[in-house]
Amino acid sequence: MSRRAPVSQEVPRYAHIVQSLMESWFRGKTGTGVYYDYSANSTIAIQYHGTIVAKCIDNDLCYIIELNTGGYKTATTKNRINDVLAIMAYPQRVRQKKYKWFIGDEEFYDGMRVSIQKGAQ
């Protein structure tokens, strides 16, 4: 992502609501930041240390959440991803079984996208 700005800068109204909620949720959590990405329309990025663990993309019909571990499948990374899924009211969470991560029955992979119909929150 090329240009990121903290929540204090002007963002579209719907994005501001989601970003404000995420920023308050993650406040005080070490190494976690929430940004609005001006280079990609309506994208909110959640960064844990140097990795964008989630991007929330608003399109006309739904919210798309793109998930990424950056190769760090740690308990904290999983918690941050699950926090985003909870905030966005996604019905499933990342779970682990025999050292593999899953969302529902699908094995988790970096770049995985889940979608939420607008109005489902």
The whole-number pLDDT of residue 73 equals: 94
Contacts of residue 3, defined as CB under 8 A and 6 or more positions apart, other chains included, come to 37, 38, 39
Contacts of residue 46, defined as CB under 8 A and 6 or more positions apart, other chains included, come to 22, 26, 32, 33, 34, 52, 53, 54, 55, 56, 80, 84
pTM: 0.78
Let me know if 84 is exposed, middle or buried by CB neighbors in 10 A (0-12, 13-18, 19+). buried
The whole-number pLDDT of residue 7 equals: 44
The whole-number pLDDT of residue 8 equals: 43
The whole-number pLDDT of residue 17 equals: 66
Instruction: Tokens for 104, please give them.
Output: 């529902």
**Mean pLDDT per segment of 10 residues, for the chain of length 121 residues?**
45 63 77 73 82 85 90 93 88 94 96 84 54
The whole-number pLDDT of residue 25 equals: 75
Domain extent for 73? 4-117
The whole-number pLDDT of residue 74 equals: 93
Whether residue 91 contacts residue 103, with contact meaning beta carbons closer than 8 Å, is answered with: no
Split into its structural domains, the chain has a count of: 1
